[in-house]
């Protein structure tokens, strides 16, 4: 939604292009190009938006001045999408604070090992599927990404093709559009259209947003009620049910936490895992190096566990490199300023949407040599080493709005990487004549970014690893 900037009487705004329409495809590339022309701060007056490609600026504003830069824009379209009850897009308020507190109690670092069993179960199931139906690897990645939270939180084993989970996955794109300026141009130019019926010409966006809002309500109730019914019918309990029984006064926030994590995990996990698998197909030498490390540290007679993590610096470096080069949310979520501010001699008005171009920060040539190359070694050579706090991974965002599910995400993605490397060799698929089929390495270009489908070969590393993978079914 367009937010016109207040007058410049308080000082100059940072420089920037006078654009009427915002780029909506590969916007992060366009924003980086603007940075080369305008510098670290790019201000778009028509949109009251400040873009930065510089991590230092993002940290200065979004972390050090988090008191100012922690709001979200609750536009009418975001309301229709059901955003008022979704932690990631809610305004900064007492309601957000309570929602975030309840969320963090469950997903904080110290409590996160409660979810290990569910993560092992779903990741091992993923390995078995890769073994038995390697040609459907994309489908299995989707299944994993949609399945971990339902298992971990609600005790539900959902199938990859589960219609409800598919429906939930389907609304994520709408949220991306509602967050990215320029995605609904008719509405942005003529905001009053929001008050007209969805059949009115140019109002199709209303139908899409209302559909999204309906699904958000369903994801708030359906999995929770299923988990409750499972308890009542003696099928078993689950973390969310236990929490609801312990804290009935927080039931609304607990359900919202479930909905948020169900939605928040899907596209992001899928993006990270498929980017990792793509990188391994493209870089066989890196894959071999990681497998040698795994063989030396873990051995060949079992699959990796979370306890192995600290002893696997090269695997860690691969994970960090995936998050650097392929951040699933390349522009993060815009943080809205709650009061007028001054920074580096410029005036940043209240209500300004600050966009941290994570994709560009992670490819800053002043920070990273060969920034566009997949080079895990850079994390081994860095002064902090590969095990620095995950709070420093920009892909999870900044400040008070930093990803509240990052410890969960980090464990899921890491264990998937380590397990796939231990069990399989990934490579380019071959044609009938035995020639490798090239992988163009293309990515989607909207708000969430992930590899486009590609063909690959996935083969177990040995008879023993085949056996180890199959044996996980009995654990
Ligand atoms: C690799 C996986 C993931 C990535 C890269 C990722 C990235 C992000 C980013 C960039 C943000 C916005 C941060 C900001 O505004 O500065 C965010 C917010 C959020 N994420 Fe994630 N996320 C991932 C997985 C998850 C998972 C698995 C969950 C749930 C368990 C989750 C829950 C949330 C929540 C609740 C917020 C909103 C925080 C707030 O606004 O207060 N995320 N995430």
> Which residue owns the Cα nearest ligand 1 atom 37?
88
Domains and CATH numbers, the chain: 27-474 (1.10.630.10)
pLDDT of residue 179: 87
Distance 322 CA to ligand 1 centre (A): 16
Q: Which atom of ligand 1 is nearest to the CA of 90?
A: 40
Q: What is the DSSP letter of 92?
A: S
Pairing of strands 341-343, 456-460: unpaired
Contact 356, 398 (CB under 8 A): yes
How far does the centroid of ligand 1 lie from the alpha carbon of residue 243, in Å?
22
Would you give the distance in Å from CA 138 to the centre of its chain? Answer: 17
CA of 431 to the centre of ligand 1 (A): 39
Instruction: Give strand pairing partners of 100.
Output: none
Of ligand 1's atoms, which has the minimum distance to the CA of residue 329? 10
Could you tell me the distance, in angstroms and rounded to a whole number, from the CA of residue 432 to the centre of ligand 1? 43
Mutation test of ligand 1: which of 149, 405, 407, 414 has the most ligand atoms closer than 8 Å to its C-beta?
405
What span, in angstroms and rounded, lies between the C-alpha atoms of 89 and 86?
Answer: 6
DSSP string, 24-73: -SSHHHHHHHHHHHH-S-EEEGGGTEEEE--HHHHIIIIIITTTTS-B--
- For residue 192, give every residue at least 6 positions away whose Cβ sits within 8 Å of its Cβ, in sequence order, or none: none
Three-state SS for 354?
Answer: strand
**Which residues face 425 on adjacent strands?**
459
Q: Are the C-beta atoms of residues 106 and 243 closer than 8 Å to each other?
A: yes
Q: Report residues whose beta carbon is within 6 angstroms of any ligand 1 atom.
A: 87-88, 100, 103, 107, 260-261, 264-265, 268-269, 272, 328-329, 332-333, 335, 395-398, 401-405, 408-409, 413
Give the H or E element holding residue 103: helix 94-107
Token pair for 29: 């590339």
pLDDT score, position 446: 87
Query: Does the annotation place 203 within a ligand binding site?
Result: no
H or E stretch covering 245: helix 239-246
pLDDT at residue 257 in the model: 98
Dig out the tokens for 52 from the structure. Answer: 């930065």
Name residues whose C-beta falls within 8 Å of residue 343's C-beta, 6 or more positions apart in sequence: 41, 57, 60, 61
Give the residue, by CA position, lying nearest to ligand 1 atom 42: 405
How close is the Cα of 328 to the center of ligand 1, in Å?
10
Minimal-distance CA residue to ligand 1 atom 17: 403
Residues 6 or more apart from 4 whose CB is under 8 A from it? Answer: 45, 46, 48
Longest Cα–Cα distance of the chain, Å, equals 73
Closest residue by CA, ligand 1 atom 32: 405
pLDDT score for 6: 56
In the chain (475 residues long), the average pLDDT of successive 10-residue segments reads 58 92 91 97 95 98 98 92 95 97 97 97 98 96 97 93 92 88 78 79 82 96 97 96 97 97 97 98 98 98 98 98 98 97 97 98 96 98 93 97 98 98 97 93 93 96 97 89
Ligand 1 atom closest to Cα of residue 271:
1
- Closest ligand 1 atom to residue 399 Cα is 16
């Amino acid at each position: 939604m367009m937010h016109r900037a207040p007058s410049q009487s308080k000082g100059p705004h940072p420089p920037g292009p006078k654009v009427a329409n915002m780029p909506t495809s590969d916007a992060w590339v366009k924003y980086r190009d603007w940075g080369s022309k305008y510098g670290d701060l790019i201000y778009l007056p028509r949109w009251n938006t400040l873009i930065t490609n510089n991590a230092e600026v993002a940290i200065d504003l979004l972390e050090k001045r988090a008191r100012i830069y922690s709001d979200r824009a609750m536009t009418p379209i975001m309301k229709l999408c059901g955003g008022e009850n979704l932690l990631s897009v809610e305004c900064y308020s007492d309601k957000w604070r309570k929602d975030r507190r309840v969320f963090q109690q469950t997903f904080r670092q110290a409590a996160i090992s409660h979810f290990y069993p569910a993560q092992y179960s779903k990741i091992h199931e993923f390995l078995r599927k890769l073994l038995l139906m390697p040609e459907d690897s994309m489908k299995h990645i989707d299944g994993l990404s949609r399945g971990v939270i339902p298992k971990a939180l609600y005790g539900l084993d959902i199938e990859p093709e589960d219609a409800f989970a598919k429906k939930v996955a389907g609304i994520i794109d709408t949220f991306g559009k509602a967050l990215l300026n320029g995605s609904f141009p008719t509405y942005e130019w003529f905001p009053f259209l929001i008050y007209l019926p969805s059949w009115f010409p140019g109002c199709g966006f209303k139908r899409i947003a209302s559909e999204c809002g309906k699904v958000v309500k369903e994801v708030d109730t359906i999995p929770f009620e299923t988990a409750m019914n499972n308890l009542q019918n003696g099928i078993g309990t689950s973390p969310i049910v236990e929490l609801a029984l312990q804290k009935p006064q927080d039931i609304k926030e607990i359900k919202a936490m479930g909905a948020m994590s169900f939605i928040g995990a899907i596209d992001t996990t899928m993006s990270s895992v498929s980017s990792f698998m793509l990188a391994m197909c493209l870089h066989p030498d890196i894959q071999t190096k990681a497998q040698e490390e795994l063989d030396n540290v873990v051995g060949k007679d079992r699959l990796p566990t979370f306890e192995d993590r600290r002893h696997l610096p090269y695997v860690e470096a691969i994970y960090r490199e995936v998050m650097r080069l392929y951040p699933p949310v390349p522009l993060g979520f815009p943080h809205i300023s709650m009061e007028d501010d001054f920074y580096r001699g410029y005036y940043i008005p209240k209500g300004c949407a600050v966009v941290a171009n994570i994709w560009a920060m992670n490819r800053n040539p002043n920070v990273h040599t060969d920034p566009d190359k997949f080079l895990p070694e850079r994390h081994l050579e860095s002064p902090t080493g590969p095990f620095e706090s995950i709070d420093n991974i920009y892909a999870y965002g900044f400040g008070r709005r930093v990803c509240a599910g990052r410890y969960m995400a980090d464990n899921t993605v890491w264990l998937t990487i380590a397990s796939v490397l231990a069990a399989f060799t990934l490579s380019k698929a071959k044609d009938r004549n035995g020639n490798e089929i090239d992988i163009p390495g293309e990515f989607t270009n909207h708000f969430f970014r992930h590899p486009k489908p590609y063909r690959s070969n996935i083969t177990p590393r040995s008879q023993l690893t085949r056996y180890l993978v199959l044996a996980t079914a009995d654990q």
